[in-house]
Structure 1
Amino acid sequence: MKTLIIKYKSVIKFILTFLIVYGVLSLVYSFYLDASKSGQYYPDFITNLVAKQSENLLKTFGYETNVVPHPNEPSIKVIVEGKYLARVIEGCNAASIIILFVSFIVAFSGKIKTTIIFALSGSVLLYVVNLIRIVVLSIGLYHYPWREAILHSVVFPAIIYGMVFLLWMFWVNRFSKINQ
């Protein structure tokens, strides 16, 4: 058993680091969500911000857009040209994806400064890509409502998870300690 642990020390270290960072960040995010229930931003600040920024981007592309709190559930309705197209829920704010991304980067850490800069810049990039995917989905739903299933189930996740994968591959091949 001891020889297996020694042999796979780096794998065990990666898994434990990933799980610890993921667990801590998820716990902090969970506390944030609990604290947000009684806040002025509905359903929480980050989700509200994502909805408002998506609204502004859609307006930039020439679509008359409004985002309003959903009366029956913790989400924000996206209304484009008078049509209720989608809702922005907590899962749409990219926070959980950013937590996953950061956990992986820390588990495959490189130099501390590089790790912090890459984690922060990658998180910002993922946030922006998430806004773009919400806008793409909204425009797609406006023009092609019969394609909702493929847009939301295939295109929507492919955009954000594809970006996460590309960032991970770039990190591992360029900055992580395994390449030093």
Structure 2
Amino acid sequence: MKSLFIKYKSVIKFILTFLLVYVVLSVVYKLYLQYSNGSKFYPDYITNLVSMQSETLLNSLGYQTQVLPHPDEPSMKLILNGEYLGRVIEGCNSVSVIILFLSFIVAFSGKLKTTFFYILSGSVLIYTVNLLRIVVLTVGLYHYPEYADILHNVIFPGIIYGMVFLLWIFWVNRFSKLNKNNA
């Protein structure tokens, strides 16, 4: 049994580190959501910020956009050219995806400075792509409502998670200690 632990030490370390970081950050995020300044029917600050930034981007593209607090739930209603197209909920703010990304990078950490800057730049990239995802999805829902299901449930999650996967692959191949140890 001891020989198995020695043989798979790096795998076990990765799994435990990943799980520890993921659980700790998820609990912190859950506490943030629970104790955020938002009321029962108003989303947390980050979700609100993503909604407002999406509104600004859509307006800059020439659409008349309005984002309003949803009257029945903690989300923001997204209205494009007078048509209510959807809502921005907590799951749309990219924080959960960033936590997943960050947990993996820490589990495959490299040099501290490199790891920190990769996490920072990757998180900014994920946040930005998520904003663009919301904007393109909204425009898509406006012009092609018949494709709402495939746009929301297949294409755009595939894009955001695919990008995270590519960031992980790039990290492991270029910067992680694991790659340095196997070279």
Normalised to the residue count of structure 1, the TM-score between the two structures is 0.97
Residue number in structure 2 paired with 1:126: 126
List alignment gaps of at least 5 residues for structure 1. Answer: none
Cα distance between partner residues in 2 of 1:156 and 1:70: 23
Residue number in structure 1 paired with 2:148: 148
Residue number in structure 2 paired with 1:50: 50
Cα distance between partner residues in 1 of 2:92 and 2:76: 10
Q: Where has structure 1 moved over 3 Å in runs of 4 or more?
A: none
Alignment partner of 1:75 is 2:75: yes
1:162 deviation in Å? 1.2
The aligned amino acid for 1:107 is: A
Superposition pairs for residues 1-180 of structure 1, below 5 Å? 1-36=1-36, 38=38, 42-180=42-180
- The structure-2 alpha-carbon separation of the partners of 1:46 and 1:38, relative to structure 1 and needing over 3 Å to count, comes to closer
1:38 deviation in Å? 4.3
Aligned residues: 180
Cα distance between partner residues in 2 of 1:6 and 1:63: 59
Conserved in 1, the CA contact under 8 Å of 2:37 and 2:45?
A: no
RMSD, matched Cα: 1.4
1:105 deviation in Å? 0.1
Q: What secondary structure, in the 3-state scheme, does the structure 1 residue paired with 2:68 have?
A: strand
Cα distance between partner residues in 2 of 1:63 and 1:111: 45
What percentage of aligned pairs have identical amino acids?
70
Cα distance between partner residues in 1 of 2:49 and 2:159: 20
The aligned amino acid for 1:174 is: R
Cα distance between partner residues in 2 of 1:37 and 1:88: 17
Normalised to the residue count of structure 2, the TM-score between the two structures is 0.95
Superposed CA deviations along residues 157-176 of structure 1, whole A, max 9, x for unmatched, are 01210110111111011100
1:42 deviation in Å? 2.8
